[in-house]
Structure formats: C-alpha cells, structure tokens
Amino acid sequence: MNSLRPGRIQRASDWVLQAVAFYAVPAAITLVSLAALFLWDDLYSAHPEKPLELRVLAQSDKVLSLVDAQQQLPQAPASRYYNPKLSEQPLWFSFDTRAISGSANVVEFPSRHAISMACWDGVSLLPLGDSANANPDRGIVKVKAGYALKLEHPGMAVICRTSFIGPARLSADLWATDQLDVSNRDFHRKSGLIDGGLIVLALFVLITALINRQGLYVIFAAWLITIVRISATSGGWDDQWLNHAVPADWLSQGRSFTRAAWALLSVTLFKTLFRDDLAKTRYVIPVTVVQWLCLALLVAAAALPRSSFLQMMWLVGAIALPLTILSLVSIVSRNRSRVALLYGASLAIALVSSLSEIVAAAYGIKGIDNSVNSVVVSLASGLLASLAIAEQLRQEHVQRLEVQAKLEHTYEAMPIGLFTLDLHGRFLSANPALRKMLGANVLKAGRNAWHQYFDMATWTQLHQLVHAKADGELEIRSMPGDGGARSFLVKATLARDKIEGSLQDVTEKSRAIEDLNFLANNDPLTKVLNRRGMEKVFNEAVRQLVEGKPMALAYLDLDRFKLINDLFGHNAGDDVLQQVCQRVGGILSGGMQMGRVGGDEFVIVMPDTRLPLAALICQSIIDRIGNTPYRVAEKAFHVRGSIGLIEVSPGTQIKDAMSTADRACREAKTAKNKGLVVYEKTAPAFIEHEAEIKLVEQLSGSAATEGLFLVMQPIMSLSAPHKSLDFEVLLRMHDVDGKLIPTPRLITAAENSGRMGLIDRWVLATTLAWLDNNHASLAHTKFVCLNLSGASLNDERFMQDVFSILEQNKHVCARLCFEITESVALRDLKNTRRFIDTVRSHGARVALDDFGAGYTSFSYLKELPADLLKIDGSFIVNMNSHPANVAIVEAIVNLARNLGMKTIAEWAEDHATVQTLAEIGVDYVQGFVVARPQSPDKLLAAASSASFIQDEQLAYFASMLDKADGALAQVDLFDPLKLKNVH
C-alpha cells in the first residue's frame, strides 16, 4: 500500500497543474479581456464638436476662379455630405463656423480619397493653407485618413477647393484640438496594431511555409501583406510602411499595384487551394482565364494612370468575381467543403464592400464611408481566408494522422519484415514480422547486430546497394540455425543517415526456383541432364578446347529396350532407365556429365578427356550396363548398350557432334567390337560425316546452288545407234576446293536440309534453258531424261512450279522426259497419275525409273500411262551369267511393248550384254560401255550416242544394227514422223 501512494500523489499533482495551465489561466485572461472591453474606461474616446454643413460647387468645363466661387457658393444647397460620383474635377465648397459657440478651432476633412486641398478666408480671400505645402503650425495638415484645417479663430467663413480619385465622399467635422489629437493617436494606434498583427501573421505563415516547403502558404503570406496594404488604403494610412513615409509619387501606382496583386494572389490562392475540386468541375479553364486577366491587371497597374487602371479593374472584377463565385458554389454544392464556404465568405465580403463603395460613389448612395468599417471589412475578409487556410491545415493534419495510423497499423501487420539500421549495422526498429523471422531479441543490446544473423559479406553488399542509390534488391541467406539456413530478399534505401529496408522470407520460393531450374536442365525421370542442360555443358566444354584441352562425346543407346516397355510396361522400363543412369554415374568422374536425349538414348560429355581414356571408360560403361541383370519387383532383365564415341574439335556444334556420335553408335550396333565404335578426328567415317554436315549447312544457306553443274550420259538406240543422240541429265557438285562431291552424299544432304525442291527447280530450269539455247545443235535428240526426287514430287507447291515452268517452255517440252522411281510412283498412285497427265499435256514424256528393283507389281502399270520403262541395272549387270535375269528382262520388254511403252536398260557394261538386250527387243541401252557421263559441250559436238563408244566390238555391232533390216527395228514413239507412219 505504501508503494502505491507516491504514484497516486504524482498523478493527482500532474492533473492539478494541467487543469490550471489548460483551463484556469486561459479563462482568467478571457474574463479580464471582456471586462476591459465593456467595463473599463476607454483611453482613446474622442468625438467631434459638430458636423459642419457644406455648400458645394462642382466645377464644370469652365474653370472657376476663387472670386467666382465666392460669388456662387452662397446659392448652392447646404448638406453635410457630398458625393462627387467618381468625378475627378476640382470641387469648391464652403462652410461657416461663426454661428457656432465654443472653442473648437480645427476642421477635419476625413475623406481618404482626397488628393489635394486648399482653403481661403471666405471674406478676405486670404489663403489659410494648402496640402501641397502643409504646415503643422498653421493651415492644412495631414490628419488620420484625410486633412485638417487649423482655423485662426473659432468662428470663420472658409472657402476650399479639393479634388478626389475613386469612390470619395466629402464631409467636414469641427473638433477641439485636444480631442482631435486623441482621435488621431487612436487612429495611428489602431493602424499600427492592424499592420503589426497582420505582418507578424504573414511572417509566421511565411516561416511555416519555408520550413514545411509548402508553396500554398507562401502565397497566403504574400496575400496577407496585400490585405495589410488594402486595410491601410481603406483606413487612410497607406502613406506609410513599416513606420517610414511612402514617397508621394509612389502612392497612386502603389494603390493600383496593391489591388492588382491582391486580385492575382486571391485567384492563385483559390486555384491552389481547390486544385483537386476544380478538376471535377467545368470551371478549370475559366478560372485560369481569370488568373491571366489578373496578371494583365498587375501589368496595367505599373503602366496605366490611376484613373485608367480603376476602369480596367472594375472591368476585370466584373468578369473575375462572378466566375470565381460560381466555381466556389459548384465546389461547395459538390462536397460541402467548409474550406470552400469560408473562402467564399471571404471573397463575398470583399466583393460586397468593393461594390458598395463603387455603387455609392457612382449613384450618390450612402455607403460604407467610415474608414474603420472599411478596415474591418478587409480584416474580416483576411480572417475568413485565414480560417479557410486553417481548416485546410486541420483537414491535412487529420489526413496525416489517419495516414500515420494506417502506416503504423500496416507496419505492425505487414507480413514482410520492416527494419531500420544505423550505419554500423545495428537494428534500431523492427516490426513483428521481422522479429518473428530473426527472433524476439533482435532489438535488444548485444543481439541487435546485422552480422549476428547474416554474414559480413551481405552487410558489405547491402552497404554498397544503399550508397549506390540503386533501385535493386539482394537475395541473402541467414546463418544456419535450428531449421537450417533460410533465404531472404532484402530491399533497402538510405534515409537520414539510416538504412530503411524490408526483409522477405523467400526460402520456399528459392527452393521452388531451384527445382524449376533443375527441371529446366534435367530429365525428371532419371535426374540426369536433358537436351537443354546437355547443350549448356557441351558448349562450356567446347569453349575450353581453345585452351588445348581435349574433349570426347559418347552416344549411348540401349539395345532392344522397347521390348521391356512392351512386355512388362513402362513402369518397369522407367525403373531400368533409372538404374542404368545410376550405374553410368558411378563410373563417370571429374567434369563428365550424362544427359538423356531420347527414350533410351543418352549422351555423355567428357571434357578434358583424351580419346583412349574415353574409350576405356565407354567400354567399362558397356560392361557395367550389360553384365549385371536389372531387378524390378520379381523380374530381372538383361540390358545391353552400344556406344558411339567421337573426338570433338574446337567450334563443333552440339547437333553436329551428336549426329556423328549417333552414326558411330548405329555402326556399333552392327559391329563385332563389343558394342563400341570410336571415331577419331582422322577416321574416314568421321571425315565423311563431317563433310555431310558441312554440305547440309551449305545447302541450308542462301548459296545453296553454288557449285552445282550438269553432266549428260548418252542413251543409245538399239534400232538406229548412229541416228539418235538421246541422253540423261545428271547432277554434280564441286566443293569450295573444286573437288567433286559424291552424288549420294549430295542427295542425302539436300534431303536432310530440306532443299531438294530448290535443287530440282534449278536442274529443271537449267536443263530447259540449255535445250532452248542449243536447239539447232540437237537435231538427233528425241528425248532428254531428267530425274525428280520423291520429296519434290510430294510437294504440291513444287509441282505447281514445275507446271508453270513447263508452260513457259512449251517449245522444248517435247524433248523432256521426267523419270519417276517405282517406289515414289507407288506411294500415291492418284497423285502420280495426276502428275503424269499434266506433264504429258504440256508435251513432255514420263519414264518409270529403276523398274523391277522395288515392290514390282505389273498391275499398276496399266494405271500409269508412262512412255518409257527404265529396267533396273541390277537385272542388266552380268545378265548373261544369270538366265533368270534374261527371262525377267524379256518379260518386262514384252509387257512394255504390249502397253505401248519403250524400254531402256541401265548399267550396260560390256558388248555381250548389249547384244543380248538387242536380241530380246530392248529399245535403248545406257551404260559405261556406251558412254560415261559427258560435259554438255562434248554432247553438242557429237553426231550420235554411238559416237562415244570405245569398245571395238560394240562399235561394229552398232554399225551392223544401222544396216539391219526391219526385223530388229521398233517403232520409235518419240519420232513424230514415224508416229504418223504408224497411224
């Protein structure tokens, strides 16, 4: 109990002190102030003795002299007030104090718009004073907002002349000297209080604006200063500023500049204060126009005389004030903003005051003439605007508090760890999420150092990140703990010599990314590399070849693995594949890596491994795979593998290396060297395959037809050997060194690169062009055979191109004969028939090539109306040694003759074979015994196909065939003249 008593006493003491400070003292000050205002004597209470009646004479176009005024003023009506109605013409007026008793001898003219004043004795016309050279001891002096005249004795008749600018009102009051002095001191005291109070307020607002860097408050501070000057103008003390007299020649332009500046600042303040609200109305452009008008008014204040400026000010005011009020009404009606209401009231007071003065001056209506009332209007306008700004500040403050509360709530509830570090790496603040990540003691002394949770390398990285002002992030790992090391993503920035940052636990994400990266580069079943991963490893190993390190590549294929899947299911096959990879992985060492590139096909990259060592490793792999059975459940399998091993050269592409190794692997499957074939760099098979790869690359480029040329092999007629010059066009190609590329290699490369159609187009176009150019030299040429590949014949676009080319070369198409292989013809009989019909419609002929070598069926011949049958050379070579071949050829000849076709025997290599072919009725013969392929120039120089015969026996036989009777002669379907004779 004793321990609780001091705490209660302390709390009670604090409550009493705060109650006195917060309530008692302010209430006492308020009560004393109210008593002073309403109960105590006023130290500056003063009143005039009597308002004087004036007789006023307005000067017309005729200038009045003092004598004229003395004569005419008595007839003017008497009045206490006179309104010049904005006229700037001089006024003559008179008053008489002789009938007034008392000692008052000072007459005050309180109009703040008077710019000159001169007075004379109304009887003697002697001068009493002039505002141009006012004398404090005698005559006219400056008093409060206007002038005062010291009379020589209390009772006098006085004539005065004055002039005004603006909404003025002429009046005169008779004062006792001491009372006027009190009133004058009160006037200057009030002006000082107003000036000082508003200036201090303006300075306070300006300082606040500079501290908070708020442009709105800078504008408001300047606007308050213009209110001070407008109040001074209204109260009549604008001839001074900061207790210093304003030069007389500055007053007129200064008043204009003050009004213009006030207008511009008021519109700018309004636009800045309600920027967002204005954007929701249609008054954005009108308010901007008003702002420019006020700027023009500011320029006019410096350039125009006071009278012209006032006219422009009233014009601009007539436009600006209604638009501003309409926009305010729109804003208030939309959001019921108290800021808009207060600001609208401020503008309305200023508007009513200005308009009332203008209307009163223009129409002679009594308006607000008391200078104190004008000051009150200005101050009230400024006060309401200040309240609008204060309300805006209050709203912004409330919004900041709400935002701060939300931020604090967010800070506490944020699932991401938020922290503040000093530049030494000590935690200064941490939200609950961070404390949960790193531990509850992260802010305690001795446990709040960064390096206690992360290594120093991460602190260096974080330090560099924040000082580089980079908009980046770091992924770091924590010190290993009970749950192991965890991954975090940290973002941070440098603010006020502290590091503000966030920490996000991305352990699961990092693991997922690692898993995705693993799946991107590894086979999900066997966990070895996939094609993508293998390509990365291969390319990295190839880059090391420039350093002189060797490299080998092995292609492993499991023999008859498909049987396991078919017989025992894919699950068993998958299990075997996993065991194979485990066995192979146990042999590999160093940087060797294995990748799966097919169902049961694998590639092994062996960097920094010479070929002999790689061969030993591969042989070990084959033995390890095949010697021990694979057990899956209750079953056991024996699996064997074949490996193709190659030596990799610098710059080799992975697709080329795998293609070569695959070729070696296929060779290993049929070889008798324990399932392993090794291709060294100098091995013929390796060189040949590399040549094929290079040829494929060349054909795949834009220069696919470079190096291509044509040769022609004569075809000799067995009915008229020396009267015909027929031949077959054959494709050849030179490499970059000018060496002849084997034709099978060329065809294979063209098909693998997909450029066979392009080459066939080139052959067709080149042949037709050559026939066209040498038409006159080929009088004995009845047909020219031309091969088309199967890939081209099955390409619809290529076929359309062929038909188009034939259409353009109809004059030489009659000599053209397209050769179609039997296998291609049988692949799609309908398509082949359409091709034959179209080609023949253009005048060309068709031959069935290699007849009898494929899946020969005599029945299909009636479906294909070919013109020639080329008997496959396998039946012709050494046919005299094989009677069966002679019988087959004879049957083919008889069948062709019955179907109206000619026959050509290929591969005729000796005289005896040609003689046998002639005896059984073959029409044409083609082979090396007749002629080897010739260049086109040699063909043009020959008289016939028999001109190329080198064998004497065959030459003699050919001459005898020319002299033979018609027993051996056959009808030549390619000779139009003989066709006519037949018909």
Convert the pLDDT of each residue in 214-241 to its tens digit.
Answer: 777 787 778 778 777 777 776 667 777 7
**Size of the chain, expressed as the number of residues it contains:** 983
Instruction: Identify the burial level of 113 via C-beta atoms within 10 angstroms of its C-beta, where 0-12 means exposed, 13-18 middle and 19 or more buried.
Output: buried
Find tokens 């007789």 and name the residue: 55
The pLDDT of residue 618 is 92
Of the spans 649-658, 801-810, 853-862, 895-904, which averages the highest pLDDT?
895-904
Range of 33-47, 120-134, 940-954 with top mean pLDDT: 940-954
The pLDDT assigned to 184 comes to 84
Residue pLDDT, tens place only, 545-554: 877 788 999 9
Strands (E), 691-840: 708-717, 726-733, 784-787, 816-821
Percent of the chain with pLDDT over 90: 16
Query: Does residue 791 have a pLDDT over 80?
Result: no
Element spanning 467, H or E? helix 456-467
Q: In what order do the strands lie in the sheet with 676-679?
A: 593-596, 601-607, 551-559, 640-647, 676-679
Q: Looking at residue 241, what is its pLDDT? A: 77
pLDDT score, position 605: 93
> Higher pLDDT residue, 429 or 86?
429
Q: Of 777, 774, 784, give the one whose Cα is nearest residue 924.
A: 784
**pLDDT category of residue 978 using cuts at 50, 70 and 90:** very low
Q: Report the distance separating Cα 823 and Cα 790, nearest Å.
A: 9
Whether 4 has a pLDDT exceeding 60, the answer reads: no
Strands (E), 593-698: 593-596, 601-607, 630-632, 635-637, 640-647, 676-679
pLDDT at 95: 93
Please determine, for residue 904, whether its predicted confidence score (pLDDT) is greater than 90: yes
Mean pLDDT value across residues 487-511:
82
Q: Which residue has the higher pLDDT, 531 or 685?
A: 531
244-262 tens-digit pLDDT: 777 877 877 888 888 888 8
Confidence of residue 2 (pLDDT cuts 50, 70, 90): low
Higher pLDDT, 40 or 922: 922
- Residue 603 pLDDT greater than 90, yes or no: yes
Backbone angles phi, psi at 19, to 5 degrees: -65, -45
**Global pTM value:** 0.43
Buried b (16+ CB within 10 A) or exposed e, 778-817: bebbbbbbbbbbebbbebeebbebbeeebeebeebbebbb
Q: Does 300 have pLDDT greater than 80?
A: yes
Whether the predicted pLDDT of 922 surpasses 90: yes
In which band, very low, low, confident or very high, does the pLDDT at 806 lie, cut at 50, 70 and 90? confident
* Whether the predicted pLDDT of 974 surpasses 70: no
More confident residue, 377 or 556: 556
Whose CA is closest to 593, among 603, 583, 601?
A: 603
Q: Which amino acid is at 236?
A: G
Q: What's the sign of the alpha-carbon dihedral 201, 206, 207, 213?
A: positive
Mean pLDDT of 475-499: 78
In one-letter notation, the amino acid at residue 213 is: R
Cβ neighbours of residue 884 closer than 8 Å, sequence gap 6 or more? none
Task: Select from 111, 226, 212 the least CA-distant residue to 165.
Answer: 111
Alpha helices, DSSP H only, in 236-337? Answer: 248-273, 275-279, 284-303, 306-335
**For 955-965, what is each residue's pLDDT tens digit?**
999 988 888 75
Segment 384-424, tens digit of pLDDT:
777 777 777 787 788 888 888 887 777 777 778 888 888 88
The answer, yes or no, to whether residue 213 has pLDDT greater than 70, is yes
* Confidence class for position 666, pLDDT limits 50, 70, 90: confident
pLDDT tens column, 825-838: 667 778 888 888 88
pLDDT of residue 370: 45
Whole-number Å distance between alpha carbons of 532 and 521 = 6
Mean pLDDT of 620-624: 90
Query: CA-to-CA distance for 791 and 758, rounded, in angstroms?
Result: 11
Phi then psi for 466, rounded to 5 degrees?
-75, -35
Average pLDDT along the chain: 81
Number of H helices, E strands in the chain: 32, 33
498 backbone dihedrals φ, ψ, rounded to 5° = -135, 155
Residue 524 has pLDDT above 60, yes or no: yes
pLDDT at res. 702: 61
474-478, 812-816, 923-927: least confidently modelled range: 474-478
Residue with the larger pLDDT of the pair 128 and 736: 128
Q: How far apart are CA 392 and CA 395, in angstroms?
A: 5
Q: Which residues contact 575 (CB under 8 A, 6 or more apart)?
A: 630, 632
Task: Dig out the tokens for 131 from the structure.
Answer: 């505002």
Q: Which residues in 382-410 are b (16+ Cβ under 10 Å) and which e?
A: bbbbbbbbebbbeeeeeeeeeeeeeeeee
Cβ contacts of 473 within 8 Å, gap of 6 or more:
489, 490, 491
Sign of the alpha-carbon torsion through 515, 517, 523, 529: negative
**Rounded average pLDDT over 107-118:** 85
pLDDT for the residue numbered 372: 44
The set of residues, in sequence order, having a beta carbon less than 8 Å from that of 166 and lying 6+ positions away, is: 86, 113, 310, 361
Q: Mean per-residue pLDDT for 21-46?
A: 83
Q: In terms of pLDDT, which residue wins out, 683 or 38?
A: 38
Q: Which pLDDT does position 889 carry in this prediction?
A: 92
| Strand partners for 454 | 478
pLDDT of 816 strictly over 90: yes
Residue 502 has pLDDT above 50, yes or no: yes
Beta strands of 19-138 (E only): which ranges?
A: 50-51, 54-58, 78-79, 91-96, 106-109, 114-121, 127-130
At residue 682 the predicted structure's pLDDT band, cuts being 50, 70 and 90, is low
Q: How distant, in Å, are the alpha carbons of 478, 513, 514, 529 from that of 520?
A: 27, 10, 10, 9
* Confidence band, pLDDT 50/70/90 cuts, at residue 283: confident
DSSP 8-class letter at 777: G
Percent of the chain having pLDDT more than 70?
Answer: 88
Q: What is the pLDDT of residue 447?
A: 85
Residue 649: the pLDDT is 85
CB distance 285 to 327 below 8 Å: no
| pLDDT classification of 975: cutoffs 50, 70, 90 | very low
Asked if 499 and 466 touch (Cβ cutoff 8 Å), the reply is yes
**pLDDT score for 554:** 94
Checking if the pLDDT of 1 tops 70, the result is no
Question: CB burial class (10 A; 0-12, 13-18, 19+) of residue 87?
Answer: middle
Query: Distance between CA 848 and CA 865 in Å, rounded?
Result: 10
Write out pLDDT tens, residues 353-365. 666 665 555 555 5
